[in-house]
Structure 1
Amino acid sequence: MTTSSGSQARSSRELGTADAVTVGAAAMIGAGVFAVFAPAADEAGAWMWVALLIAAVVAYCNATSSARLAARHPESGGTYVYGRERLGELWGYIAGWAFIVGKTASCAAMALTFAAYAAPEWSRPLALAAVVGLTAVNYVGVRTSAGLARVLLVTVLAVLGAVAAVGLGGSEADPGHLAINTHWPGFFGLLGAAGMLFFAFAGYARIATLGGEVRDPATTIPRAIAISLIGVLTVYLLVGTAAVTVLGHGRLADSQAPLADTVVAAGWPQLTPLVSVGAALASLGALMALILGVSRIVAAMADDGHLPRALAAVHERFGGPHRAELAVGAVVCLIVLVADVRGAIGFSAFGVLVYYTVTNASALRLGPRENRPPLLVPVVGLAGCVVLAFSLPLQSVVVGVLAIGAGVGVWALRRMVLDRH
């Protein structure tokens, strides 16, 4: 078992269930909900609700496995650490590389979502400006606080509540659009949509990192995971129902800014600026946190020698891994230039699903005295991640496999060089 003598080990246990639920919900309810319903409707059509439930079940299994592993390995790095300790160096590396690949694409998706709502006619230049600006903010050491995250959560929930209210309560709502006895999208369509919707639940594992900060973590963390996931699923069901009943699956699938289009079609165009502000805040907040998180994993892998060691350098004045931050920002800018929101979401979902595949495989290696979750949880999580990953749109799967394969090839080449010396 890995122990920690750092801040996490010394932190006081002050957070209760309500606090942990707030942290989890704030991490999940972000920009994804403003963008993901359109590609999901395109893939699954009227069966989008079934896809949403599948995504929620897989997210619950992943979060539970993450929580049990975090309790045994209370150090930064997530599944990069769990895979290395439980499965071997290669699997830890694959998890870290998949995280970098998936979350870097998430950064691009967040930037493009922000631009689609703020100024769609200037989407790529505005998305690039957002990435450059927030990379600069992270570079000089500015950090978002827990208080800011809560303010952001309340603001975004208010916007989503307004969308749901005008969509479901207006005369344009047609409950007939909710029927699922129409065209069957096929298993690839259904599961591909579930993989897309999985993107909107990203962030739930944040609860798993609170082991040293909550009271009675063995009880509080599993309870907080369940409550937050159920709460977020309820929000997504309400907002998605509003969008579908007003726009129908066809118009929703074609939308670039689905929630803005929902309020316009519902007869409330005056709410469009509110929705745009909500999407912008959610997107920029998520983008800032993602750039921060990815750069730290890049620095950790560089410090271990899996990436160029120069990327592990820490700025003498600002205290952050400045070269890793600049490298991540540059790669995100390249993705923004060549991808659209849907492509970025699909690619991101593939990488993150590979990451959680390793998480669940690591959880299977927990012993009976290590608070191992019920066997069904990591088994369903592992199988669900694999199935959803390879049910995503073909382009996302191909690019994802090539990206993960390239990472494994670099690892193998490095091992060969080290073995020869």
Structure 2
Amino acid sequence: MIGAGVFVAFAPAAQAAGSWLLLGLAVAALVAYANATASAQLAAQYPTSGGTYVYGREQLGPWWGFVAGWGFVIGKTASCAAMALAFGAYVAPPGWERAVAVLAVLVLAATSYRGVTRTARLTRIIVAVVLLALTVAVVTSLAGTTPAWSNLALGDEAPGTYGVLQAAGLLFFAFAGYARIATLGEEVRDPGRTIPRAIRLALGVAVAVYAVVAVTLLVVLGSDGLAQQADPVAAAVEQGTYAWASPVVRVGGAAAALGALLALMTGIGRTTLAMAREADLPRWLAAVHPRYRVPHRAELVLAGLVCALVLTVDLRGAIGFSSFGVLVYYLVANLAAARQGTSFRRSPRVLQVVGALGCATLTLTLPLGSVVAGAVVLVVGALLRGVGRRAARP
């Protein structure tokens, strides 16, 4: 969660909510917490790999599992495009952002194709670099300018409920990482205890970091200035007298984007492989490379789709589309958790109700283009599944 999202998600959220951005962040955190309790509760009952794709199948039926898995695949594919565009925004000269983003996708696709994935040790290094960059950004931004604390006051021109909820939906993009913890049920000790604690702790730390960064960006750039930046964290540093620290922040943003991109491409490839084996996606995507032991067809298709998105959508569109898919994924998680029996219940059922309603509401209040595109892709995926399963019948 503490990755590239924190470097880019606040700008489109400010476009939607203006000075009410912090309220949108609070709503996103509330929905994320409800979702986290559902994921933790389900992970305790099903300590296996697969996350909500498994939970939906077990609690609600195969079609619900497919919806969750397909939502994950399309949402995270858009996340890959957003991460690549974030990398381009932080390192490329003006006009070269998309070309650099495509190059990053191709290089990491080749890396993943050869079986190189992001390890736990590398993850710790990336998080340390990101936290260092964010610390430098916050300190130099506040010390190098005269912070306008009045920017934290709610503006007279309220964006309305729709604007706040749209900001929350866009900021949800940055919260989505805790689902990955729930997919590691077969790889940790005592998963029934470890995974729920890890999800709640990770979410709490992320919310605290996001709040500090959001406040800093608002008092330095203002909501209008923030809304116009593709690289808001670096822009806040460059506003003041400590602009020399900007390269440190840009390195942190670039590292976060590349680390997230590699992890996402690896995870999507494996989820696609699992779905193809169940005939939820075309079975030819289930092929595994004889030497590198990776789902090479799935990864090649993914790389092509991500490059197409990078060349055709902007960062706000990629974030909105990603949030749509991820919110659908968590909607299924909440519905599945609500069906669990009392012996597995670790939180009040009302939290799953709040989570499900929150996911549905934030999904519908995302930018219209993201909602329409997401709905179309969901329907196309369902049609492909239906055709594929009919073809697979003897």
Same fold (TM over 0.5): yes
Give the Cα separation in 1 of the matches to 2:276 and 2:125. Answer: 35
Which consecutive residues of structure 2, in runs of 5 or more, have no partner in the other structure? none
Contact conserved, 1:46 with 1:182, CA < 8 A, in 2?
Answer: no
Contact conserved, 1:299 with 1:311, CA < 8 A, in 2?
Answer: yes
* Residue number in structure 2 paired with 1:348: 322
CA 149–415 in structure 1, closer or farther in 2 if over 3 Å, else same: closer
* Residue number in structure 2 paired with 1:48: 21
Give the Cα separation in 2 of the matches to 1:309 and 1:64. Answer: 34
Q: Which of 146, 149, 153 is equivalent to 1:179?
A: 153
Give the Cα separation in 1 of the matches to 2:138 and 2:41. Answer: 35
* Residue number in structure 2 paired with 1:194: 168
Give the Cα separation in 1 of the matches to 2:129 and 2:34. Answer: 29
- Cα displacement (A) at 1:339: 0.6
- Cα displacement (A) at 1:207: 3.0
Give the Cα separation in 2 of the matches to 1:383 and 1:226. Answer: 20
* Residue number in structure 2 paired with 1:308: 282
Within 5 Å, give how 1:59-138 maps onto structure 2. 59-121=32-94, 122-138=96-112
1:106-133 CA distance string (max 9 Å, x none): 0000000000010142111100000000
- Cα displacement (A) at 1:356: 0.6
Amino acid across the alignment from 1:340:
D
Q: SS where residue 182 of structure 1 aligns?
A: coil
The answer as to 2:268 corresponding to 1:294 is yes
Q: Which of 328, 352, 356 is equivalent to 1:382?
A: 356
Give the Cα separation in 2 of the matches to 1:342 and 1:274. Answer: 24
Amino acid across the alignment from 1:101:
I
Contact conserved, 2:42 with 2:55, CA < 8 A, in 1?
Answer: yes
CA 418–223 in structure 1, closer or farther in 2 if over 3 Å, else same: closer
405-414 or 42-51, which deviates more: 405-414
199-208 or 284-293, which deviates more: 199-208
Q: SS where residue 203 of structure 1 aligns?
A: helix
- Cα displacement (A) at 1:228: 2.3
TM-score by length of 1: 0.90
TM-score by length of 2: 0.96
CA 303–216 in structure 1, closer or farther in 2 if over 3 Å, else same: closer
Give the Cα separation in 2 of the matches to 1:373 and 1:120. Answer: 49
Amino acid across the alignment from 1:33:
V
Query: Size of the alignment, in residue pairs?
Result: 393
Contact conserved, 1:67 with 1:209, CA < 8 A, in 2?
Answer: no
CA 144–60 in structure 1, closer or farther in 2 if over 3 Å, else same: same
CA 216–291 in structure 1, closer or farther in 2 if over 3 Å, else same: closer
Q: Which of 228, 244, 252 is equivalent to 2:226?
A: 252
Amino acid across the alignment from 1:310:
W
Identity %: 51
Give the Cα separation in 2 of the matches to 1:124 and 1:149. Answer: 26
Amino acid across the alignment from 2:314:
D
Amino acid across the alignment from 1:410:
L
The answer as to 2:330 corresponding to 1:362 is no
Q: SS where residue 116 of structure 2 aligns?
A: coil
* Residue number in structure 1 paired with 2:135: 161
Amino acid across the alignment from 2:209:
V
Which consecutive residues of structure 1, in runs of 5 or more, have no partner in the other structure? 1-27
- Cα displacement (A) at 1:220: 4.3
1:69-106 CA distance string (max 9 Å, x none): 12222222211111111111111111111111100000
Give the Cα separation in 1 of the matches to 2:376 and 2:125. Answer: 39
Q: SS where residue 343 of structure 2 aligns?
A: coil
Give the Cα separation in 2 of the matches to 1:194 and 1:120. Answer: 30
Amino acid across the alignment from 1:72:
Q
398-407 or 368-377, which deviates more: 368-377
Contact conserved, 1:114 with 1:127, CA < 8 A, in 2?
Answer: yes
- Cα displacement (A) at 1:214: 5.3
- Cα displacement (A) at 1:415: 5.0
- Cα displacement (A) at 1:413: 3.6
- Cα displacement (A) at 1:200: 0.8
Give the Cα separation in 1 of the matches to 2:206 and 2:285. Answer: 36
The answer as to 2:237 corresponding to 1:263 is yes
Amino acid across the alignment from 2:72:
F
Give the Cα separation in 2 of the matches to 1:170 and 1:153. Answer: 25
- Cα displacement (A) at 1:216: 5.4
The answer as to 2:2 corresponding to 1:35 is no
Contact conserved, 1:67 with 1:207, CA < 8 A, in 2?
Answer: no
The answer as to 2:144 corresponding to 1:170 is yes
Amino acid across the alignment from 2:43:
A
Q: SS where residue 369 of structure 1 aligns?
A: helix
Contact conserved, 1:131 with 1:332, CA < 8 A, in 2?
Answer: yes
